[in-house]
Structure 1
Amino acid sequence: MIHFEPSILLLPVTVRCGDGDTFKARHVIFTGSLGVLKARPSFFDPPLSTKKRQAIEKAGFGSTCKIFLQFERPFWEELEPPTDGFQTLWLNRQTESAVVEDSNVPWYRSALGLDAIRTHKNTLVLWLAGPRAAEVDGLSDEQIKQDVVELLRKFAVSSSIPKPVRVMRERWSSNPYIRGTYSYHSMESTISGLLIEDLAEPVWIFEDSKSGSVPALLFAGETTHPIDFLTIHGAIQSGWREAVGLKELAVHCEQHSGCLHSRCRAKTPVQHSMKRATSAG
Protein backbone atom coordinates (compact mmCIF):
# COMPACT_ATOMS: atom_id res chain seq x y z
CA MET A 1 0.00 0.00 0.00
CA ILE A 2 1.07 3.57 -0.68
CA HIS A 3 -0.12 6.08 1.93
CA PHE A 4 0.01 9.87 1.63
CA GLU A 5 -0.01 12.22 4.62
CA PRO A 6 0.27 15.83 3.38
CA SER A 7 0.86 17.20 6.88
CA ILE A 8 4.25 15.45 6.95
CA LEU A 9 6.11 17.78 4.60
CA LEU A 10 9.55 16.21 4.66
CA LEU A 11 8.56 12.60 3.80
CA PRO A 12 4.79 12.57 3.18
CA VAL A 13 4.61 9.18 1.42
CA THR A 14 4.83 5.79 3.10
CA VAL A 15 5.16 2.57 1.09
CA ARG A 16 4.22 -0.60 2.96
CA CYS A 17 5.42 -3.80 1.30
CA GLY A 18 3.92 -7.25 1.48
CA ASP A 19 6.86 -8.57 3.52
CA GLY A 20 6.36 -5.92 6.18
CA ASP A 21 9.09 -3.51 5.10
CA THR A 22 8.17 0.18 5.19
CA PHE A 23 9.77 3.00 3.22
CA LYS A 24 9.20 6.73 3.57
CA ALA A 25 9.76 9.16 0.70
CA ARG A 26 9.06 12.67 -0.50
CA HIS A 27 8.13 11.40 -3.99
CA VAL A 28 7.19 7.96 -5.31
CA ILE A 29 7.19 6.93 -8.97
CA PHE A 30 4.71 4.08 -9.46
CA THR A 31 5.72 1.85 -12.38
CA GLY A 32 3.33 -1.06 -11.91
CA SER A 33 1.35 -2.30 -14.89
CA LEU A 34 -2.11 -1.11 -15.82
CA GLY A 35 -3.32 -4.60 -14.92
CA VAL A 36 -2.16 -4.08 -11.34
CA LEU A 37 -3.76 -0.63 -11.19
CA LYS A 38 -7.05 -2.11 -12.38
CA ALA A 39 -6.93 -5.00 -9.92
CA ARG A 40 -5.80 -3.04 -6.86
CA PRO A 41 -7.63 0.30 -6.59
CA SER A 42 -7.30 0.03 -2.80
CA PHE A 43 -3.52 0.14 -3.15
CA PHE A 44 -3.60 3.92 -2.66
CA ASP A 45 -4.58 5.75 0.51
CA PRO A 46 -6.24 8.20 0.16
CA PRO A 47 -8.00 6.94 -2.99
CA LEU A 48 -7.00 8.36 -6.35
CA SER A 49 -9.15 11.09 -7.87
CA THR A 50 -12.31 10.13 -9.73
CA LYS A 51 -10.81 11.13 -13.07
CA LYS A 52 -7.67 9.08 -12.39
CA ARG A 53 -9.70 6.02 -11.44
CA GLN A 54 -11.86 6.38 -14.55
CA ALA A 55 -8.76 6.68 -16.74
CA ILE A 56 -7.47 3.43 -15.24
CA GLU A 57 -10.79 1.59 -15.43
CA LYS A 58 -11.57 2.55 -19.02
CA ALA A 59 -8.09 2.11 -20.52
CA GLY A 60 -7.57 -1.15 -22.38
CA PHE A 61 -5.23 -3.84 -21.10
CA GLY A 62 -4.97 -7.16 -22.88
CA SER A 63 -3.01 -10.38 -23.02
CA THR A 64 -0.58 -11.58 -25.62
CA CYS A 65 1.06 -14.94 -25.20
CA LYS A 66 4.19 -16.30 -26.88
CA ILE A 67 4.76 -20.01 -26.52
CA PHE A 68 8.11 -21.38 -27.66
CA LEU A 69 7.94 -24.98 -28.82
CA GLN A 70 11.11 -27.02 -29.21
CA PHE A 71 11.11 -30.12 -31.42
CA GLU A 72 13.66 -32.88 -31.93
CA ARG A 73 14.07 -31.73 -35.52
CA PRO A 74 12.75 -28.89 -37.74
CA PHE A 75 10.03 -31.02 -39.36
CA TRP A 76 8.67 -27.98 -41.23
CA GLU A 77 11.75 -28.05 -43.44
CA GLU A 78 10.83 -31.62 -44.49
CA LEU A 79 7.33 -30.75 -45.68
CA GLU A 80 6.38 -30.37 -49.32
CA PRO A 81 6.90 -27.56 -49.90
CA PRO A 82 9.21 -26.63 -46.99
CA THR A 83 8.03 -23.73 -44.87
CA ASP A 84 9.29 -21.45 -42.11
CA GLY A 85 5.97 -21.14 -40.34
CA PHE A 86 2.21 -21.59 -40.34
CA GLN A 87 -0.44 -18.86 -40.39
CA THR A 88 -3.81 -20.11 -39.24
CA LEU A 89 -6.98 -19.20 -41.12
CA TRP A 90 -10.13 -21.12 -40.26
CA LEU A 91 -12.56 -21.38 -43.17
CA ASN A 92 -15.97 -21.61 -41.57
CA ARG A 93 -18.80 -19.28 -40.69
CA GLN A 94 -18.12 -19.02 -36.99
CA THR A 95 -17.28 -15.43 -36.09
CA GLU A 96 -14.13 -14.51 -34.25
CA SER A 97 -16.16 -13.22 -31.30
CA ALA A 98 -17.85 -16.61 -31.02
CA VAL A 99 -14.47 -18.34 -31.00
CA VAL A 100 -13.25 -16.06 -28.23
CA GLU A 101 -16.36 -16.34 -26.07
CA ASP A 102 -17.17 -20.04 -26.45
CA SER A 103 -15.21 -22.04 -23.90
CA ASN A 104 -16.04 -25.24 -25.82
CA VAL A 105 -13.98 -24.03 -28.77
CA PRO A 106 -10.30 -25.04 -28.36
CA TRP A 107 -8.02 -22.21 -27.29
CA TYR A 108 -5.76 -22.71 -30.29
CA ARG A 109 -8.54 -21.48 -32.59
CA SER A 110 -7.40 -18.02 -31.44
CA ALA A 111 -3.75 -18.67 -32.34
CA LEU A 112 -2.40 -16.17 -34.84
CA GLY A 113 0.22 -18.56 -36.18
CA LEU A 114 3.52 -20.31 -35.59
CA ASP A 115 6.86 -19.03 -36.86
CA ALA A 116 10.27 -20.64 -37.02
CA ILE A 117 12.98 -19.09 -34.83
CA ARG A 118 15.97 -18.62 -37.11
CA THR A 119 18.50 -18.56 -34.26
CA HIS A 120 17.09 -21.79 -32.74
CA LYS A 121 16.75 -24.26 -35.57
CA ASN A 122 14.35 -26.68 -33.87
CA THR A 123 11.97 -24.10 -32.38
CA LEU A 124 8.62 -22.57 -33.35
CA VAL A 125 6.95 -19.68 -31.56
CA LEU A 126 3.16 -19.64 -31.30
CA TRP A 127 1.42 -16.26 -31.01
CA LEU A 128 -1.85 -15.91 -29.18
CA ALA A 129 -3.75 -12.74 -28.25
CA GLY A 130 -7.00 -11.85 -26.54
CA PRO A 131 -8.97 -13.48 -23.71
CA ARG A 132 -7.89 -17.00 -24.64
CA ALA A 133 -4.26 -16.04 -24.02
CA ALA A 134 -5.02 -15.68 -20.31
CA GLU A 135 -6.72 -19.09 -20.38
CA VAL A 136 -3.54 -20.75 -21.64
CA ASP A 137 -1.70 -19.67 -18.49
CA GLY A 138 -3.68 -22.30 -16.61
CA LEU A 139 -2.86 -25.17 -18.98
CA SER A 140 -0.12 -27.67 -18.32
CA ASP A 141 2.83 -28.00 -20.69
CA GLU A 142 1.65 -31.49 -21.63
CA GLN A 143 -1.79 -30.19 -22.59
CA ILE A 144 -0.22 -27.49 -24.75
CA LYS A 145 1.95 -30.08 -26.49
CA GLN A 146 -1.06 -32.22 -27.34
CA ASP A 147 -3.12 -29.26 -28.56
CA VAL A 148 -0.29 -27.89 -30.69
CA VAL A 149 0.22 -31.24 -32.39
CA GLU A 150 -3.48 -31.30 -33.30
CA LEU A 151 -3.25 -27.76 -34.65
CA LEU A 152 -0.12 -28.44 -36.70
CA ARG A 153 -1.41 -31.70 -38.14
CA LYS A 154 -4.53 -29.91 -39.32
CA PHE A 155 -2.68 -27.08 -41.09
CA ALA A 156 0.30 -29.11 -42.29
CA VAL A 157 -2.13 -31.77 -43.57
CA SER A 158 0.08 -34.46 -42.13
CA SER A 159 -0.41 -37.05 -39.43
CA SER A 160 3.32 -37.45 -38.85
CA ILE A 161 3.89 -34.13 -37.09
CA PRO A 162 5.90 -34.90 -33.92
CA LYS A 163 5.02 -33.67 -30.47
CA PRO A 164 7.18 -30.85 -29.06
CA VAL A 165 9.80 -31.99 -26.60
CA ARG A 166 9.80 -28.75 -24.65
CA VAL A 167 7.47 -25.82 -23.96
CA MET A 168 8.85 -22.44 -22.89
CA ARG A 169 6.62 -19.52 -21.89
CA GLU A 170 5.86 -16.79 -19.40
CA ARG A 171 2.51 -16.66 -17.60
CA TRP A 172 2.05 -12.89 -17.72
CA SER A 173 -1.71 -12.89 -17.24
CA SER A 174 -1.63 -14.98 -14.07
CA ASN A 175 1.39 -13.15 -12.64
CA PRO A 176 -0.10 -11.07 -9.78
CA TYR A 177 2.51 -8.35 -10.37
CA ILE A 178 1.70 -7.98 -14.09
CA ARG A 179 -1.82 -9.38 -14.85
CA GLY A 180 -1.51 -9.05 -18.63
CA THR A 181 0.88 -7.68 -21.20
CA TYR A 182 0.06 -4.51 -23.15
CA SER A 183 -2.16 -1.47 -22.75
CA TYR A 184 -4.14 0.22 -25.50
CA HIS A 185 -6.41 3.24 -25.90
CA SER A 186 -9.90 1.79 -25.73
CA MET A 187 -13.14 2.98 -27.23
CA GLU A 188 -14.43 3.61 -23.71
CA SER A 189 -11.54 5.99 -23.08
CA THR A 190 -12.22 7.82 -26.33
CA ILE A 191 -15.94 8.20 -25.61
CA SER A 192 -15.18 9.51 -22.12
CA GLY A 193 -12.58 11.98 -23.42
CA LEU A 194 -9.83 10.37 -21.37
CA LEU A 195 -6.26 10.54 -22.64
CA ILE A 196 -3.04 8.68 -21.95
CA GLU A 197 -1.85 11.90 -20.31
CA ASP A 198 -4.55 11.35 -17.68
CA LEU A 199 -2.86 8.06 -16.75
CA ALA A 200 0.49 9.85 -16.49
CA GLU A 201 -0.78 12.83 -14.50
CA PRO A 202 0.79 13.01 -11.00
CA VAL A 203 -1.44 13.12 -7.93
CA TRP A 204 -1.31 13.98 -4.24
CA ILE A 205 -0.11 17.55 -4.65
CA PHE A 206 1.12 19.08 -1.41
CA GLU A 207 2.30 22.54 -0.43
CA ASP A 208 5.88 23.00 0.70
CA SER A 209 6.97 26.28 2.24
CA LYS A 210 10.12 26.36 0.14
CA SER A 211 9.07 24.57 -3.01
CA GLY A 212 5.41 25.47 -3.42
CA SER A 213 3.03 22.91 -4.96
CA VAL A 214 4.75 19.60 -5.63
CA PRO A 215 3.47 16.09 -6.53
CA ALA A 216 4.01 13.19 -4.15
CA LEU A 217 2.90 10.34 -6.44
CA LEU A 218 3.96 10.07 -10.06
CA PHE A 219 3.26 7.41 -12.67
CA ALA A 220 5.49 5.73 -15.27
CA GLY A 221 5.29 2.58 -17.39
CA GLU A 222 4.42 1.83 -21.00
CA THR A 223 0.77 2.70 -20.49
CA THR A 224 1.69 6.32 -19.66
CA HIS A 225 3.66 7.01 -22.85
CA PRO A 226 1.57 9.00 -25.37
CA ILE A 227 3.20 7.49 -28.46
CA ASP A 228 5.21 4.37 -27.62
CA PHE A 229 2.77 2.58 -25.31
CA LEU A 230 2.90 -1.21 -25.79
CA THR A 231 6.69 -1.08 -25.97
CA ILE A 232 9.68 -1.67 -23.72
CA HIS A 233 11.36 1.53 -24.87
CA GLY A 234 8.16 3.42 -24.11
CA ALA A 235 8.28 2.07 -20.56
CA ILE A 236 11.94 3.03 -20.22
CA GLN A 237 11.38 6.54 -21.58
CA SER A 238 8.45 7.09 -19.23
CA GLY A 239 10.72 6.29 -16.27
CA TRP A 240 13.32 8.73 -17.54
CA ARG A 241 10.56 11.30 -18.02
CA GLU A 242 9.50 11.20 -14.40
CA ALA A 243 13.04 11.01 -13.00
CA VAL A 244 14.16 13.97 -15.11
CA GLY A 245 11.00 15.84 -14.16
CA LEU A 246 11.74 15.44 -10.45
CA LYS A 247 15.33 16.50 -10.95
CA GLU A 248 14.26 19.63 -12.86
CA LEU A 249 11.67 20.34 -10.18
CA ALA A 250 14.33 20.20 -7.47
CA VAL A 251 16.71 22.43 -9.45
CA HIS A 252 13.97 24.96 -10.10
CA CYS A 253 13.07 24.98 -6.39
CA GLU A 254 16.64 25.76 -5.44
CA GLN A 255 16.82 28.61 -7.94
CA HIS A 256 13.36 30.04 -7.20
CA SER A 257 12.86 29.56 -3.47
CA GLY A 258 9.30 30.19 -2.35
CA CYS A 259 7.65 30.21 -5.79
CA LEU A 260 4.31 28.51 -6.29
CA HIS A 261 5.53 26.57 -9.31
CA SER A 262 3.21 28.04 -11.92
CA ARG A 263 6.04 27.41 -14.37
CA CYS A 264 7.06 24.09 -12.91
CA ARG A 265 3.57 22.64 -12.74
CA ALA A 266 3.00 23.63 -16.34
CA LYS A 267 6.05 21.80 -17.58
CA THR A 268 7.23 19.35 -14.95
CA PRO A 269 7.28 16.61 -14.01
CA VAL A 270 4.88 15.33 -16.68
CA GLN A 271 4.31 17.67 -19.61
CA HIS A 272 7.84 18.95 -20.09
CA SER A 273 9.57 15.61 -19.60
CA MET A 274 6.94 13.81 -21.72
CA LYS A 275 7.79 16.19 -24.54
CA ARG A 276 11.45 15.36 -23.99
CA ALA A 277 10.79 11.61 -24.21
CA THR A 278 8.61 12.03 -27.29
CA SER A 279 11.14 14.08 -29.18
CA ALA A 280 13.90 11.69 -28.19
CA GLY A 281 11.91 8.78 -29.64
Structure 2
Amino acid sequence: VTNIVRRYTGVKVTVEDGTTFAADAVIVAVPLGVLKAKTIKFEPRLPEWKEAAIDELGVGIENKIILHFDKVFWPNVEFLGVVADTSYHCSYFLNLHKATGHSVLVYMPAGQLARDIEKMSDEAAVEFAFMQLKKILPEACAPIQYLVSRWGTDVNTLGSYSYDAVGMSHDLYERLRVPVDNIFFAGEATSMSYPGSIHGAFSTGQMAAEDCRMRVLERYGELNLLQPVMGEEAGLCVPLLITRL
Protein backbone atom coordinates (compact mmCIF):
# COMPACT_ATOMS: atom_id res chain seq x y z
CA VAL A 1 0.00 0.00 0.00
CA THR A 2 1.36 3.41 -0.98
CA ASN A 3 -1.56 5.79 -0.55
CA ILE A 4 -4.81 6.02 1.44
CA VAL A 5 -7.28 8.77 0.57
CA ARG A 6 -9.89 9.42 3.24
CA ARG A 7 -13.27 10.94 2.47
CA TYR A 8 -16.55 11.01 4.37
CA THR A 9 -18.16 8.76 1.78
CA GLY A 10 -15.37 6.17 1.76
CA VAL A 11 -11.69 5.50 1.24
CA LYS A 12 -9.47 4.81 -1.76
CA VAL A 13 -6.38 2.63 -1.28
CA THR A 14 -3.58 2.56 -3.87
CA VAL A 15 -0.95 -0.19 -4.01
CA GLU A 16 2.52 -0.28 -5.57
CA ASP A 17 1.46 -1.30 -9.07
CA GLY A 18 -1.03 1.57 -9.24
CA THR A 19 -4.13 -0.53 -8.63
CA THR A 20 -6.76 1.25 -6.53
CA PHE A 21 -9.42 -0.18 -4.23
CA ALA A 22 -12.49 1.74 -3.09
CA ALA A 23 -14.28 0.86 0.14
CA ASP A 24 -16.49 2.28 2.86
CA ALA A 25 -13.67 1.94 5.40
CA VAL A 26 -10.20 0.47 5.77
CA ILE A 27 -8.24 -1.24 8.54
CA VAL A 28 -4.55 -0.33 8.74
CA ALA A 29 -2.69 -3.21 10.40
CA VAL A 30 0.85 -2.61 9.16
CA PRO A 31 3.69 -2.72 11.75
CA LEU A 32 4.57 0.43 13.66
CA GLY A 33 7.95 0.60 11.90
CA VAL A 34 6.20 0.96 8.55
CA LEU A 35 3.99 3.75 9.89
CA LYS A 36 7.06 5.52 11.26
CA ALA A 37 8.80 5.29 7.88
CA LYS A 38 5.81 7.05 6.27
CA THR A 39 5.89 4.72 3.27
CA ILE A 40 2.09 5.01 3.24
CA LYS A 41 0.84 8.49 2.36
CA PHE A 42 -2.42 9.51 4.01
CA GLU A 43 -4.61 12.14 2.31
CA PRO A 44 -5.48 14.27 4.12
CA ARG A 45 -2.72 13.87 6.69
CA LEU A 46 -3.49 12.06 9.88
CA PRO A 47 -4.33 14.35 12.83
CA GLU A 48 -1.42 15.64 14.91
CA TRP A 49 -2.39 13.49 17.90
CA LYS A 50 -2.25 10.37 15.74
CA GLU A 51 1.09 11.28 14.14
CA ALA A 52 2.49 12.04 17.60
CA ALA A 53 1.49 8.57 18.83
CA ILE A 54 3.25 7.00 15.84
CA ASP A 55 6.38 9.11 16.36
CA GLU A 56 6.64 8.72 20.14
CA LEU A 57 6.17 4.96 20.47
CA GLY A 58 9.46 3.09 20.21
CA VAL A 59 10.26 0.20 17.87
CA GLY A 60 12.59 -2.54 19.08
CA ILE A 61 14.50 -5.17 17.14
CA GLU A 62 14.85 -8.79 18.19
CA ASN A 63 15.80 -11.37 15.59
CA LYS A 64 15.91 -15.14 15.55
CA ILE A 65 18.66 -17.33 14.19
CA ILE A 66 17.14 -20.79 14.09
CA LEU A 67 19.63 -23.66 14.25
CA HIS A 68 18.57 -27.21 13.39
CA PHE A 69 20.92 -30.00 14.52
CA ASP A 70 21.07 -33.68 13.66
CA LYS A 71 20.97 -34.58 17.36
CA VAL A 72 20.30 -33.07 20.77
CA PHE A 73 23.47 -32.37 22.77
CA TRP A 74 22.16 -29.78 25.24
CA PRO A 75 20.39 -30.13 28.62
CA ASN A 76 16.60 -30.41 28.84
CA VAL A 77 15.98 -26.80 29.92
CA GLU A 78 13.85 -24.05 28.38
CA PHE A 79 16.70 -21.58 27.92
CA LEU A 80 20.47 -21.62 27.57
CA GLY A 81 22.38 -18.44 28.21
CA VAL A 82 25.33 -16.54 29.58
CA VAL A 83 25.28 -13.10 31.22
CA ALA A 84 28.22 -10.85 30.38
CA ASP A 85 29.31 -7.21 30.42
CA THR A 86 28.33 -6.51 26.79
CA SER A 87 25.60 -7.77 24.49
CA TYR A 88 28.23 -9.23 22.19
CA HIS A 89 29.30 -11.63 24.93
CA CYS A 90 25.80 -12.46 26.15
CA SER A 91 24.16 -15.59 24.78
CA TYR A 92 20.47 -16.43 24.83
CA PHE A 93 19.09 -19.56 23.20
CA LEU A 94 15.53 -20.88 23.28
CA ASN A 95 15.33 -24.68 23.40
CA LEU A 96 12.55 -25.75 21.01
CA HIS A 97 13.27 -29.43 21.64
CA LYS A 98 11.69 -29.18 25.07
CA ALA A 99 8.43 -27.88 23.59
CA THR A 100 8.30 -29.52 20.15
CA GLY A 101 10.60 -32.53 20.20
CA HIS A 102 12.66 -31.12 17.32
CA SER A 103 16.43 -30.71 17.72
CA VAL A 104 16.32 -26.93 17.32
CA LEU A 105 17.86 -24.03 19.23
CA VAL A 106 16.96 -20.40 18.54
CA TYR A 107 19.50 -17.65 19.15
CA MET A 108 17.72 -14.35 19.91
CA PRO A 109 19.86 -11.21 19.59
CA ALA A 110 18.23 -7.86 20.33
CA GLY A 111 19.00 -4.15 20.22
CA GLN A 112 22.20 -2.93 18.59
CA LEU A 113 23.54 -6.46 18.37
CA ALA A 114 20.53 -7.46 16.28
CA ARG A 115 21.07 -4.45 14.01
CA ASP A 116 24.72 -5.34 13.52
CA ILE A 117 23.95 -8.98 12.78
CA GLU A 118 21.45 -7.90 10.11
CA LYS A 119 24.40 -6.41 8.21
CA MET A 120 26.03 -9.85 8.02
CA SER A 121 25.34 -12.57 5.49
CA ASP A 122 23.20 -15.47 6.67
CA GLU A 123 26.30 -17.65 6.85
CA ALA A 124 28.19 -15.12 8.98
CA ALA A 125 25.19 -14.61 11.27
CA VAL A 126 24.86 -18.36 11.80
CA GLU A 127 28.59 -18.67 12.48
CA PHE A 128 28.34 -15.88 15.08
CA ALA A 129 25.42 -17.63 16.79
CA PHE A 130 27.22 -20.97 16.71
CA MET A 131 30.34 -19.45 18.29
CA GLN A 132 28.13 -18.09 21.07
CA LEU A 133 26.70 -21.55 21.58
CA LYS A 134 30.15 -23.12 21.76
CA LYS A 135 31.00 -20.77 24.63
CA ILE A 136 28.23 -22.51 26.56
CA LEU A 137 28.66 -26.01 25.15
CA PRO A 138 32.21 -26.45 23.79
CA GLU A 139 31.35 -29.85 22.29
CA ALA A 140 28.45 -28.49 20.23
CA CYS A 141 28.16 -29.88 16.70
CA ALA A 142 27.49 -27.66 13.70
CA PRO A 143 23.88 -27.11 12.57
CA ILE A 144 22.60 -28.93 9.49
CA GLN A 145 20.00 -26.27 8.62
CA TYR A 146 19.35 -22.67 9.63
CA LEU A 147 17.02 -19.73 9.16
CA VAL A 148 17.82 -16.06 9.86
CA SER A 149 15.23 -13.31 10.40
CA ARG A 150 15.86 -9.64 9.59
CA TRP A 151 12.91 -7.78 11.05
CA GLY A 152 14.75 -4.47 11.26
CA THR A 153 15.53 -4.17 7.54
CA ASP A 154 12.55 -6.05 6.12
CA VAL A 155 10.57 -3.33 4.30
CA ASN A 156 7.32 -4.95 5.43
CA THR A 157 8.17 -4.69 9.14
CA LEU A 158 11.08 -2.27 9.84
CA GLY A 159 11.24 -3.51 13.41
CA SER A 160 10.08 -6.33 15.65
CA TYR A 161 7.79 -4.86 18.31
CA SER A 162 6.66 -1.60 19.90
CA TYR A 163 7.62 -0.32 23.33
CA ASP A 164 7.01 2.65 25.63
CA ALA A 165 9.90 5.07 25.28
CA VAL A 166 11.21 6.76 28.43
CA GLY A 167 9.49 10.04 29.25
CA MET A 168 6.65 9.66 26.75
CA SER A 169 2.91 9.78 27.41
CA HIS A 170 1.30 6.69 28.94
CA ASP A 171 -1.64 6.68 26.50
CA LEU A 172 0.22 6.23 23.21
CA TYR A 173 -1.10 2.70 22.56
CA GLU A 174 -4.66 3.88 23.09
CA ARG A 175 -4.19 6.89 20.81
CA LEU A 176 -2.73 4.72 18.07
CA ARG A 177 -5.76 2.40 18.26
CA VAL A 178 -8.40 5.16 18.01
CA PRO A 179 -9.84 5.35 14.46
CA VAL A 180 -9.62 8.45 12.28
CA ASP A 181 -13.03 8.76 10.62
CA ASN A 182 -13.30 5.62 8.47
CA ILE A 183 -9.68 4.52 8.93
CA PHE A 184 -9.28 1.92 11.69
CA PHE A 185 -6.00 0.76 13.21
CA ALA A 186 -4.91 -2.66 14.46
CA GLY A 187 -1.70 -4.47 15.37
CA GLU A 188 0.37 -5.16 18.47
CA ALA A 189 1.26 -1.45 18.74
CA THR A 190 -2.44 -0.66 19.29
CA SER A 191 -2.92 -3.20 22.09
CA MET A 192 -3.14 -1.68 25.56
CA SER A 193 -3.12 -5.09 27.28
CA TYR A 194 -0.74 -7.19 25.17
CA PRO A 195 1.62 -4.94 23.18
CA GLY A 196 4.55 -6.59 21.45
CA SER A 197 2.76 -9.93 21.07
CA ILE A 198 0.90 -12.02 18.50
CA HIS A 199 -2.18 -12.30 20.70
CA GLY A 200 -2.16 -8.51 21.09
CA ALA A 201 -2.13 -8.10 17.31
CA PHE A 202 -4.85 -10.73 16.87
CA SER A 203 -7.22 -9.26 19.46
CA THR A 204 -6.87 -5.70 18.14
CA GLY A 205 -7.56 -7.00 14.65
CA GLN A 206 -10.83 -8.45 15.91
CA MET A 207 -11.75 -5.20 17.64
CA ALA A 208 -10.93 -3.09 14.59
CA ALA A 209 -12.95 -5.39 12.34
CA GLU A 210 -15.95 -5.16 14.67
CA ASP A 211 -15.65 -1.35 14.90
CA CYS A 212 -15.42 -1.18 11.11
CA ARG A 213 -18.48 -3.41 10.77
CA MET A 214 -20.50 -1.20 13.10
CA ARG A 215 -19.57 1.91 11.12
CA VAL A 216 -20.77 0.32 7.89
CA LEU A 217 -23.98 -0.80 9.60
CA GLU A 218 -24.58 2.72 10.87
CA ARG A 219 -24.27 4.02 7.33
CA TYR A 220 -26.50 1.48 5.61
CA GLY A 221 -28.73 0.45 8.50
CA GLU A 222 -28.91 -3.17 7.34
CA LEU A 223 -28.01 -5.62 10.10
CA ASN A 224 -27.94 -8.57 7.72
CA LEU A 225 -25.25 -7.06 5.49
CA LEU A 226 -22.37 -8.22 7.66
CA GLN A 227 -22.00 -10.95 10.25
CA PRO A 228 -20.48 -10.19 13.68
CA VAL A 229 -16.71 -10.53 13.73
CA MET A 230 -16.75 -12.33 17.08
CA GLY A 231 -19.25 -14.91 18.29
CA GLU A 232 -21.41 -14.48 21.37
CA GLU A 233 -18.93 -16.37 23.54
CA ALA A 234 -15.86 -14.52 22.28
CA GLY A 235 -15.81 -12.24 25.29
CA LEU A 236 -15.43 -15.26 27.58
CA CYS A 237 -12.34 -16.59 25.82
CA VAL A 238 -8.93 -16.14 27.39
CA PRO A 239 -6.43 -14.81 24.80
CA LEU A 240 -4.06 -17.44 23.50
CA LEU A 241 -0.65 -16.52 24.87
CA ILE A 242 2.00 -16.78 22.17
CA THR A 243 5.51 -15.43 22.57
CA ARG A 244 6.75 -12.61 20.36
CA LEU A 245 8.16 -13.76 17.02
The change in CA–CA distance for 1:247 and 1:152 in structure 2 (over 3 A counts) is closer
Alignment counterpart, residue 113 of structure 1, candidates 76, 93, 103 = 93
* Change beyond 3 A, Cα 1:30–1:222: same
Q: Give the drift of 1:253.
A: 4.5
Contact 1:63 1:129 in 2 (8 A): yes
- Unaligned stretches of 5+ residues in structure 1: 77-81, 101-105, 204-214, 256-272
Aligned residues of 1:31 and 1:221 also touching (Cα < 8 A): yes
Asked if the contact 1:58/1:188 (under 8 Å) is kept, the reply is no
Query: Residues 127, 138 of structure 1: CA spacing in aligned structure 2 closer, same or farther, 3 A cutoff?
Result: same
- CA distance in structure 2 between the partners assigned to 1:71 and 1:5 by the alignment: 51
> In percent, how many aligned pairs have the same letter?
29
Residue 166 of structure 1 pairs with residue 145 of structure 2: yes
Report deviation, 1:173: 1.7
Q: Please report how far the alpha carbon of residue 231 of structure 1 lies from its aligned counterpart in structure 2 after TM superposition.
A: 1.8
Q: Offset of 1:10 from its aligned partner?
A: 3.5
Q: Report the count of equivalent residues.
A: 226
SS in 1 for 2:130: helix
Query: Whole-Å Cα distance in 2 between the matches of residues 83 and 246 of structure 1?
Result: 47
Of 145, 169, 174, the residue aligned with 1:197 is 174
Mark the runs of 5 or more structure 2 residues left unpaired by the alignment. 222-229, 240-245
Whichever of the two has the greater Rg, that structure is: 1
Q: CA separation of 1:138/1:277 partners in 2, compared to 1, >3 Å: closer, same or farther?
A: farther
1:49 to 47, 50, 54: 47
State the 1:189 CA deviation: 2.4
Correspondence for 2:134 among 153, 160, 163: 153
Partner SS for 1:117: helix
> Aligned pair in 2 of structure 1 residues 53, 277: CA closer, same or farther (>3 Å)?
farther
Once the two structures are TM-superposed, the CA of residue 232 in structure 1 deviates from its matched residue by: 1.6
Q: Is the 8 A contact 2:62 2:114 kept in 1?
A: yes
For the aligned residues, what is the CA RMSD?
A: 2.8
Q: TM-score, normalised by structure 2?
A: 0.79
Match of 1:16 among 4, 14, 17: 14
